[in-house]
Amino acid sequence: MTTQPHLQTRRDIPLIAVFAGVVAALGLFPAISAFGGAVPITAQSLGVMLAGAILGPRRGALALVVFLALVAIGLPLLAGGRGGLGVFAGPSVGYLLGFPVAAYAVGALTYAFGAPYRLTWGLVASVVGGVVVVNVLGITGLVLRADLGVREATAAALVFVPGDVVKAVVCAVVARGVHAAYPDLLPQRRGTSRRSAADASA
């Protein structure tokens, strides 16, 4: 069992701001409207996964809350230069509101396993949060805002899945490198901590 330390202003606010910027930067990649879909394919969900996998549940979710707040006040940070309150009334709303939820889910699963970071478990966390959670909430938004039935909305969302899985793999690989370089980001598992202490005293 592991826990994430309480938010520490001096350390955590810059990290949250940086990852809000990462998600915004990924919006510079051109959006693709596959098969005329109402929701474009973008690279920004990779940033969502990375925020959770690297920062953990609370900081990762807060980074996406900050990002969405900037979008809401009109900054054109979404792929394709979109921004403003109007985007939350469109068919993308489920995906957008799912960003902080997905980051929290990825972070919670990643930090539940703790240090050292394991690529396989990191991939599972990224798929559950960044693929399953995002698309479930996205489908809900399509049903509510695009006048689609559940079956039609699910079929529309399936277009995103292959790319999302690729992003989950990229996220796990990048997160492994970051956690190898900065091992204090992840909490130590209790068993690992005890073994490390025993090794040090031997």
Structural domains in the chain, CATH included, are 14-188 (1.10.1760.20)
Q: Is the pLDDT of residue 33 over 90?
A: no
C-beta separation of 134 from 48 below 8 A: yes
> Does the pLDDT value for residue 197 go beyond 70?
no
Residue predicted with more confidence, 81 or 9 = 81
pTM over 0.75: yes
The per-residue pLDDT for range 140-171, each reduced to its tens digit, is 999 999 888 999 999 989 989 999 999 999 99
Q: With contact defined as beta carbons under 8 Å apart, do 175 and 60 qualify?
A: no
H/E stretch holding 166: helix 161-181
**What is the average per-residue pLDDT within 90-102?**
96
- Say whether pLDDT at 125 is over 90: yes
